[in-house]
Amino acid sequence: MKKTLKSKLSWSTILTVFIFGLIGIISIFFQTKSTFISLAKQNLSSESSLLIQGFDNILERGRDLSETIANEPVFVDYMVGDKQIADELTTFRLNFYNIGEIYSATYLVSSSGIVLASTDPSFVGQDYSSRDYFQKSIKGESATDISVGATSKEVEYYFSHPIKSPHGDIIGVAVAKMKPEIINKFIIASNEDRETIMLTDNYGIVIYSNDSQVVYKSLGNLDQETSQIITKNNRFSNIKIEPLDYNIPVLKLLNKENSGIFEIKDKKNNKDKIVSVSKIGKLPFFLLTERDSDQFIYPAIKISFFLSLIIGLSTLCTIFLILFLVNKFLMPLEFLKIGAQEISKGNFNYKLNLSTDDDLVGLGNTFNDMSLKLKNLYSNINKERKKSQRLVRDLNKFKLAVDNASDLIVITDPNDVVLYANPATAKITGYSIGEILGQKPSDLWYRLVDKKIINLISDVVGKKKKIYSGQIELNRRDGAKYVSSVFLAPILYKNKKLEFCVRIEKDITKSKEIDKAKTEFVSLASHQLRTPLTITSWYTEMLLDEKNQIGFNKTQEEYLKKIYSSNHRMIELVNALLNVSRLELGTFVIDPEIVFPNAILESVIDEFKPQIKKKQIKFKKEIYSSLPKKMMLDEKLFRIIVQNLLSNAIKYTPEKGTISIKVKKDKKNLLIIIKDSGYGIPIVQQSQIFTKLFRADNVKQTDVDGTGLGLYIVKSILDHTDGKIWFESEENKGSTFFVTLPIKGMKRQKGLKRLN
Amino acid sequence: MEKEKKRILIIEDENALLEVLTDKFEEEGFSVLQARNGKEGLEIAINDKPDLILLDIIMPVMDGMTMLRELKKKQKGNRIPVIILTNLGAAEDVEQAIKEGAYDFLIKAEYKISDVVKKVEQILNKIA
């Protein structure tokens, strides 16, 4: 059987109850037994002392009688030999003492041991000189003796007393022979079933007993001396004395104490017995009262039996109770086990329903809560796993991208030692990847760079932990110079400690050359295109100035004006194109100064007033007083922004429309809102309006002139000055443009060209 | 009796521009001296001491910047005000010109010719 917790618990409890029960039963058994035995001993000794008193009384009467006879003057005289007293009278007199038929005979014995007178005539003339009682009494003692009748085979009791002459000489012995029935009756009367009562003589031979089998047997083995004495006395009339298996030293007891209680083992019958031994008065008799121990063990067994029964029953009850409790408490555990197995199989939906009303409900709830949490955890882990798989895929893609990038990408440790370099690094610098790894860029393609620049970079990235970006002239392995746009970013551990450095470099030598060529072209174009335009412009201007002196007609004057305005448009276009090329090169100057934005706005608005008036446009201006009075702005750039937006608004708003300009500020930005009720921008083209040379379809049709560069330039400027631009527009309803510029102003930018 | 005409030296390699400027300034009552490159201009400036010089930058033989530098070296005492009149608009050009002692820097295409005349008159009045 599998040793489950349940069986372990049950068996251990049952075994404990059983063992303690057994120990209890055994100890109670022995306790009870010894209590009963000691009670029995007391009982026995008190009983036997009662018996002994009775015996003593009876036997004492015998002694008294013999003494009374011995002192009777008539008998003394008779014994002295006074022949005047007839034998008949003496015999009569002796009969007189035999009251109540207690005595079978009373008689007088001469000093030579011959019976002189007796109530039993057959005794007369008999020689009793060898008898114990005679021998003792002739010496002057009062004696008691027994002997077994030769014919009757019954024990007889003799009481004798010396008869003394008036002079004090012992002249004979008076004897009373008691009928054995008197004593035997007494024994039988006091007999109880369970007892064996034995009367023994001073040699330990049973004289009488309620158990006839033991009569005339000795308690122990007789020694030779005693046997001889008994044979000589002929006490037992040739009856063979057989020993009983009592090992009681009656004789020894006789010499010391009057009584004793013994527990003995009857080997023959295999019985334990309690034996009380008492001396009867001063007489040479002992009374043995004997009981079987079984009698006392029996109640002990009975009590123990009932006790065992009770303990057995309670053990049984305990077992049932324990099984019940174990089931009650362990069943939920069983459910828990099943639940745990289910969960270990991955079935997180397993619900435990413990229908108990105790603390285990809490356990069940905790279990269910746990399984729910496990389920969530498991699904989270699953999600995480998928995530990390995705991450690995992404990382692989990322690595592929980095490996194949045309820009140099290098990862260094905080000491600037290269940990990774992509293939482009080898291509650009001329060193092999093997030569680069584990080395410092400052020993390779940065080897000729000014120490000041190296220190600056390590200061920015290493100490300030900021991104460095700049253009540096570097040297390839073969010494060839090249210009690189360098971007160096610190990767911080927990936003504190520098862990890695990512370096991205782009070889811009070629693009630099292209830039230079572009710049030269711009200068050339600027000069070569603008010169003829200037000449045309100035001559036309002069002609128009002098029209009155010259005397043009209306048509001629009209033509001249058209030449002038077209030429002017051409100049604007060239200027715009120049600005665009400068913006694209990123080489335009941003030169912020403290200016008054309000004043600039007003002046730009003033520039457009004639056009506004001409188109009869309702113009509204809302400039909030909370505006900063002074700002760090490049006035030229700020003007270009406002000019372009306002000029667009006017261009693309039909006559009698409305235009409003609103200038506000929030915490960080200046906000300019220019709203018109113009043609608006078609939704499909709204995403393109900041691209170069874009012109919306709807305005191309309405003859409005435009370069398609204005918004592109505005957006480019704002991109370089931390500003923003966006708009809302609906076709035929109008457009609203929003522009923000940081309140703290524009940042200075060095460049080659100013925008015009 | 007319007051004495102010004398202007125009240094410009582009004939058409030189003519239109000459015409305009003479019309406005100036006496115009012409030079077609920096070297010529430098000689006339030193010899004739005009009241004001209009100087182009890109020219053959000697360009405007060099001429300006040379003029600065040779002039003592009062300096003749020089206005750079060019179609170059580079920031560095403007900065350099001002550094070399130019009085002003005008971009031709962005000015009306009448405005150029006004500028010249303003400067002359200021000096006087």
Q: Is residue A741 part of a domain?
A: yes
Spatial separation of the C-alpha atoms in residues A339 and A374, rounded to whole Å = 13
Residue type at A1 in one-letter notation: M
Facing A541 at nearest CB: one of B16, B109, B112: B112
**Cβ(A749)–Cβ(A590) under 8 Å?**
yes
Average pLDDT, whole number, for chain A?
81
Question: Total domain count for chain A?
Answer: 5
Q: Does one domain contain both A629 and A488?
A: no
Question: Is CATH 3.40.50.300 correct for B7-127?
Answer: no
The answer to whether the Cβ–Cβ distance between A534 and B87 falls below 8 Å is: yes
Q: Which residue in A535, A542, A754 is closest to B91 by CB distance?
A: A754
Mean pLDDT within A250-266? 66
Q: What are the chain A neighbours of B58 within 8 Å (beta carbons)?
A: 527
The pLDDT value recorded for residue A264 is 75
**Residue A249 is assigned to a structural domain of this protein:** yes
Q: What is the pTM of this model?
A: 0.41
Burial class (CB in 10 A: 0-12, 13-18, 19+), A717: buried
Same domain as A609, residue A710: yes
- Is the residue at A398 inside a domain? no
Distance between A557 CA and the closest CA of chain B, angstroms: 18
* pLDDT 10s digits, A188-233: 766 566 678 888 877 778 888 877 777 888 877 777 777 777 777 6
User: Do both A598 and A726 map to the same domain?
Assistant: yes
Q: Where does a domain end: A181, A216, A237?
A: A181
Helix (H, G, I), strand (E, B) or coil at A656: coil
Those residues with Cβ within 8 angstroms of residue A112's Cβ, 6 or more apart along the chain or in another chain: A129
Which of A526, A752, A756 minimises the CB distance to B92?
Answer: A752
Judge whether A541 is closer than 8 Å to chain B, CB to CB: yes
Residue B58: per-residue pLDDT: 83
- Chain segment A444-488, per-residue pLDDT in tens: 999 988 888 888 888 888 888 888 888 888 999 998 999 898 999
Residue A377 located in a structural domain: no
Residue-level pLDDT at B32:
92
A744 and A605 share one domain: yes
All structural domains of chain B with their residue ranges = 7-127
pLDDT value at residue A674 = 92
Cβ-Cβ contacts under 8 Å, B91 against chain A: 589, 751-754
The distance of B89 to chain A (nearest Cα, Å) reads 7
Which residue among B20, B58, B114 sits closest to A527, beta carbon to beta carbon?
A: B58
Residue B86 and residue B80 in contact, taking contact as beta carbons nearer than 8 Å: no
Domain C-terminal end among A507, A527, A547: A507
Please judge whether A578 and B89 are an interchain contact, meaning their C-beta atoms are less than 8 angstroms apart.
Answer: yes
Residue B22 has pLDDT above 90, yes or no: yes
The interface predicted TM-score (ipTM) is 0.84
Based on the domain organization, do A116 and A161 belong to the same domain?
yes
Confidence of residue B3 (pLDDT cuts 50, 70, 90): low
Cβ-contact A596, A633 below 8 angstroms:
no
Please check whether residues A455 and A522 belong to one and the same domain: no
A565 touches chain B (CB under 8 A): no
Cβ of A523 within 8 Å of Cβ of B14? The answer is: no
CB B52 within 8 A of CB B123: yes
Does residue A1 have a pLDDT over 60? Answer: no
Helix pair A294-344, A360-404: axis angle to 10 deg = 30
In a domain, A691, yes or no: yes
Mutation to test the A interface, candidates B19, B23, B87, most A Cβ within 10 Å: B87
Q: What is the pLDDT of residue A586?
A: 63
Instruction: Using CB atoms, pick whichever of A531, A571, A754 lies closest to residue B17.
Output: A531
**From the candidates B20, B54, B107, B116, which should be mutated to test the interface with A, based on the most A CB atoms within 10 A?**
B20
Chain A positions touching B88 (Cβ under 8 A) are 523, 526-527
Return the percentage of chain A with pLDDT > 70, whole number. Answer: 90
User: What is the model's pLDDT at position B1?
Assistant: 41
Q: A573 — contact with chain B (CB < 8 Å)?
A: no
Percentage of chain A lying above the pLDDT 90 cut: 9
**What pLDDT score does A618 carry?**
92
Q: Average pLDDT of A558-580?
A: 84
Q: pLDDT by residue (tens digit) across B49-90?
A: 898 999 888 888 888 888 888 888 887 767 888 888 888 766
pLDDT in tens, A693-715: 677 777 766 656 677 778 888 88
Are A640 and A539 within one domain?
no
The pLDDT, as a whole number, for residue A756 is 59
The mean-pLDDT minimum among A275-284, A452-461, A579-588 falls in A579-588
Is residue B108 less than 8 Å (CB to CB) from chain A? yes
Kindly give, in sequence order, each residue whose CB lies less than 8 Å from that of residue A341, ignoring residues fewer than 6 positions away.
none
C-alpha closest to that of A567 among A536, A531, A599, A546:
A536
What b/e sequence results for B32-59 when a residue is b if at least 16 CB atoms lie within 10 Å of its CB, and e otherwise? bbbbbbbbbbbebbeeeebbbbbbbbbb
Q: Are residues A687 and A575 in the same domain?
A: no
Residue B86: exposed, middle, or buried by beta-carbon count in 10 A (0-12, 13-18, 19+)? buried
Size of interface A-B (CB pairs under 8 A): 65
* Pair (A432, A495) in one structural domain: yes
Check whether A547 has a pLDDT greater than 70: yes
- Two structure tokens written together for A397: 């893609």
Do A513 and A605 share a structural domain? no
Q: Do B110 and A535 touch (CB under 8 A)?
A: no
Spatial distance between the Cα atoms of A202 and A255, rounded to a whole number of angstroms: 10
Asked if B113 and A578 come within 8 Å (Cβ–Cβ), the reply is no
Q: Are residues A609 and A737 in the same domain?
A: yes
Distance in Å, alpha carbon of B88 to nearest chain A alpha carbon: 6
Strand partners, A10: none
Residue A448 tokens, joined? 């000729």
Nearest residue of chain B to residue A589 (CA atoms): B91
Chain B residue with the nearest C-alpha to that of A578: B89
Give me the domain span that covers residue A653: 588-756
Q: Do A754 and B16 touch (CB under 8 A)?
A: no
Q: Do A756 and B89 touch (CB under 8 A)?
A: yes
Q: Which of residues 36-65 of B touch A (CB under 8 A)?
A: 58
Q: B19 to chain A: nearest residue by CA?
A: A535
Chain B interface includes A578 (CB < 8 A): yes
- Nearest of A308, A277, A305 to residue A290 by alpha carbon: A277
Position A53 confidence tier, pLDDT thresholds 50, 70, 90? confident
CATH classification at residue A726: 3.30.565.10
Does A636 share its domain with A684? yes
Quick one: average pLDDT of A646-668?
88
CB contacts, 8 Å: A753 with chain B: 89-91
B15 touches chain A (CB under 8 A): no
Q: Last residue of a domain, which of A559, A586, A613?
A: A586
